[in-house]
Amino acid sequence: MRLPEQKPEDVFCAIGFTTRDAVQKAQILLQMEKERLASLKRSETGKLIEIYFLDTVSSDLLEEMHGGKYLALEYWNEAAFSLAQKIKIHLPPVIEKLTRTKLPPSPPLGRSIVQPYTP
């Protein structure tokens, strides 16, 4: 499967998960993965779904950035965010949009999903 190149100007939506959202977070990732796997049978060209995370367990950077308001922060690229809307996944509000160059460093930034998807 051919995938688009990752570019510095790629846009990511930062989504903040509070303690209340924590259970929903796991269900969201399972739904996304199920749809992504089903999509791979559809075509030979696709998009790259990217979801990265920053949480209070792996780093105190989240505390510094948002003052302890969130348990975890996820960065969804446009393909991931569009897929969530398509399959009607309810996400917490987007708290900011940023380019790939503005993502936090790895580590502490972790990777939830970086996989191909065919819309």
Predicted TM-score (pTM) of this structure: 0.76
User: Which residue stretches of the chain have pLDDT < 50?
Assistant: 43-44
Q: What does the alpha-carbon distance between residue 82 and residue 8 come to, in Å, rounded to a whole number?
A: 19
Q: What is the pLDDT of residue 116?
A: 67
In which region does residue 38 sit, left (phi positive, over 0), alpha (psi from -120 to 50) or beta (all else)? alpha
Q: What is the pLDDT of residue 44?
A: 47
Q: What is the pLDDT of residue 89?
A: 82
* Domain ranges within the chain, ordered by starting residue: 17-117
CA atoms within 13 A on the CB side of 30: 5
Q: What does the alpha-carbon distance between residue 40 and residue 99 come to, in Å, rounded to a whole number?
A: 27
Q: What does the alpha-carbon distance between residue 38 and residue 5 come to, in Å, rounded to a whole number?
A: 22
